Structure 1
Amino acid sequence: MTDIHALAGAYVLDAVDDVERAAFVRHLDACETCALEVAELREAAARLADPTWSVPPPRLRDAVLAEIRRTPQERPGRAGRDGPAARGRWRRRLTAAAAAVALAGGAGAATWMVQEQRVRDAREAAVSARGETERVRAVLAAPDAVVRTGAVPAGGRVTLVASAARDEGVALLDGLTAPAAGRAYQLWLIEGATATSAGVLPAGQGAGTVLVGGVRGKGLFGVTEEPAGGSAQPTMTPLVALVLT
């Protein structure tokens, strides 16, 4: 089994699966060393997104200046004496210079734009992951949290930790038989005859951790197997149904 202390780097980069993430989140509450390491790694990742990346790449300026030096310049008054033909040649040279500059700077500018987008994506993913992790930890630590668990007949267990005060829950699916190709496990909050989707696992996946919203006042939490991407309403009797109230 992987040493849980070694998951800090992968956790910060969101390179862990759902089960590892849930286990590591619980571990962070009791391990000051890992908590400090995670904080330091997040700080290092934030530095990669430094605002100075937003300036144009130096290669673009160098390419412009180099092209200017290579382009012959007309002496003052020459265009006027030579007439329209000379002016036409000057315009063509300017056009060629501009095209060359665009080609020379294009690769650098494109690389810079890709880097900028990657930084923005990484920053947004880090913020989203941090926010979700904090919400999961808050649910697990909520004074009114209740734990419901049940076995799935074909194997595996489903556990839900729910906090009515926060109106959120954390669902853990562990060891369920992987669904058939093109199928996925879908989570439901059920009140009477009304079922509301609470999330869908990736197709073919039999384990995962899902943050569930809107648990307050719901009677049951259930899991069904549905077409990949989920259904508007359950198409089968839940494989497991946990009583919430």
Structure 2
Amino acid sequence: MTDIHTLAGAYALDALDELERAAFDRHLRECAACATEVAELREAAARLADPTWSVPPPALRDRVLADIGRTRQVGPELPRPARRGAAPRWRRFAAAAAVVGLATAGGAAGAFAWQQRELRQERAVLAATRAEAARMQAVMTAPDARVHGGDLAGGGRITVVVSARENLGVVVLAAPPAEAGKVYQYWMLDGARPVSAAVLASGEHHSTRVLAGVQGMESFGVTVEPAGGSPTPSLPVRAGIPLV
């Protein structure tokens, strides 16, 4: 039988059937720990659904398009030009007409190839968006999902939902813009060793991100770093959140 305590995430997202919901409603009246967990999960879910929060993160499309831009695209293959030489006049007229036709066809082929590239890009962005949303859903509904949050020094708030079973976390940031030439960077700490988890894009200060590799991590941190990020965190740490 399923441990009723593990249904908190599904309950918070209205993912239970009627019998399960009725049972969990009764359980909530007696379990303060589950009531607190449901409230925290609902708060995190509300943040994810708020239109001022970007889901998927605003840099996702740019990252996908950048990856596509580094992939060599194969253009339309054009026929080789014929060897030059003497030809009857009618052949020269025919060749000129063929050149005009080829130019028109080449333009159409180029436009078609451009449209195909655009379509591939949009499909890639859509697929990445769906994958990101599915991973967020997996974290939020995981039986072991836990919500952690804290304020940022200098203003702002960060919420972290982690699932050791999924080995994933969802990080929701609402903060003032970083200083000019600076960006927010996320860190996870395994003991005393900081590991860079994500570097936000320039100007990105309202963000929702899925982070992998949370299993075994003891704490989560946020710093402000030079654009492009740093190999080690710079002081002061804007937020430090225990995950255990």
Length-normalised TM-score, structure 2: 0.63
* Consecutive unaligned residues in structure 1, runs of 5 or more: 1-15, 23-55, 57-83
Aligned to 1:62: none
Deviation at 1:88, TM superposition (A): 5.1
Show the 5 A alignment for 1:1-245.
19-21=53-55, 87=87, 89=89, 92-174=92-174, 176-245=175-244
Q: Partner of 1:21: helix, strand, or coil?
A: coil
What is the percent sequence identity of the aligned residues? 38
Letter in 2 for 1:121: Q
Q: Is the 8 A contact 1:170 1:210 kept in 2?
A: yes
CA, structure 1 residues 237+153, in 2 after alignment: closer, same or farther (shift >3 Å)? closer
Aligned-partner Cα distance in 2 for 1:208–1:199:
11
CA-based RMSD = 2.3
Q: Is the 8 A contact 1:18 1:208 kept in 2?
A: no
- Corresponding residue pairs, total: 168
Aligned-partner Cα distance in 1 for 2:127–2:179:
34
Bigger relative CO (Cα 8 Å, ≥ 6 apart):
2
Aligned-partner Cα distance in 2 for 1:19–1:117:
29
* Consecutive unaligned residues in structure 2, runs of 5 or more: 1-49, 57-75, 77-84
Aligned to 1:67: none
Letter in 2 for 1:199: A
* Structure number with bigger Rg: 1
Q: Partner of 1:232: helix, strand, or coil?
A: coil
Deviation at 1:134, TM superposition (A): 0.6
Deviation per CA, 1:189-234: give whole Å up to 9, x if none.
1113321111122212221111011000011100000111211221
Q: Partner of 1:102: helix, strand, or coil?
A: helix
Length-normalised TM-score, structure 1: 0.63
Q: Is the 8 A contact 2:54 2:206 kept in 1?
A: no
Aligned-partner Cα distance in 1 for 2:52–2:211:
14
Deviation at 1:106, TM superposition (A): 2.6
Letter in 2 for 1:123: R
Regions of 4+ moved over 6 Å: none
